[in-house]
Amino acid sequence: MTGFATTDLSDAYSDDETAFLRHLEPVFQDYGGRSRFHGPVVTLATFEDNTKVREAVEGPGKGRVLVVDGGGSTRCALFGGNLAQLAAKNGWAGIVINGCVRDRDELEAEDVGIKALGAHPRKSQKRGAGSFDVPVSFAGQAIKPGDWLYADRDGVIVAARELK
């Protein structure tokens, strides 16, 4: 599904209980070279440490979306230009970060969707902290590994299954 619109999906699946459609609060800005992306979710919970973010995008993306709960911190960036290059090269469809990014010009140059709360020039710490494949909750919704995320310029929706 390449030509989807979150507005159309929202309308079409609003009464479908099997989809368990959730709308994230409109707190995210677009930073990547792709404004529309979707795929199965991989979750990561971390705080002001992007070591595990790098670990994720160094591996095969297989069209998935990395959802990073950075605790909403706006004190440093969890994602930047080097990681965006890796994500695009390794086939990640997109990254949604409950936190900040940096290197905005470099992010826009990569063919990967990136949504985050804002931009910050400070890099994160490198402590190796973080947990993969855990349920996360931010922007008013719970997100689990294996959910499907759909994002475009109108917003972000999450479903319990793939929407066709």
* Domain of 95, in residue numbers: 6-159
164 part of a folded domain: no
74 part of a folded domain: yes
Is this structure's pTM higher than 0.85? yes
- 86-116 core/surface letters (b: 16 or more CB in 10 A; e: else): bbbeeebbbbbbbbbbbbeebbeebebbbbb
154 part of a folded domain: yes
13 part of a folded domain: yes
CATH of the domain at 73: 3.50.30.40
Using one digit for the tens of pLDDT, what is the confidence trace for 119-146?
999 999 999 999 999 999 999 999 999 9
18 part of a folded domain: yes
Using one digit for the tens of pLDDT, what is the confidence trace for 7-58?
999 999 999 998 999 999 999 999 999 999 999 999 999 999 999 999 999 9
| Residues 75, 76, 78: CA angle, nearest 5 degrees | 135
106 part of a folded domain: yes
1 part of a folded domain: no
96 part of a folded domain: yes
Number of domains, the chain:
1
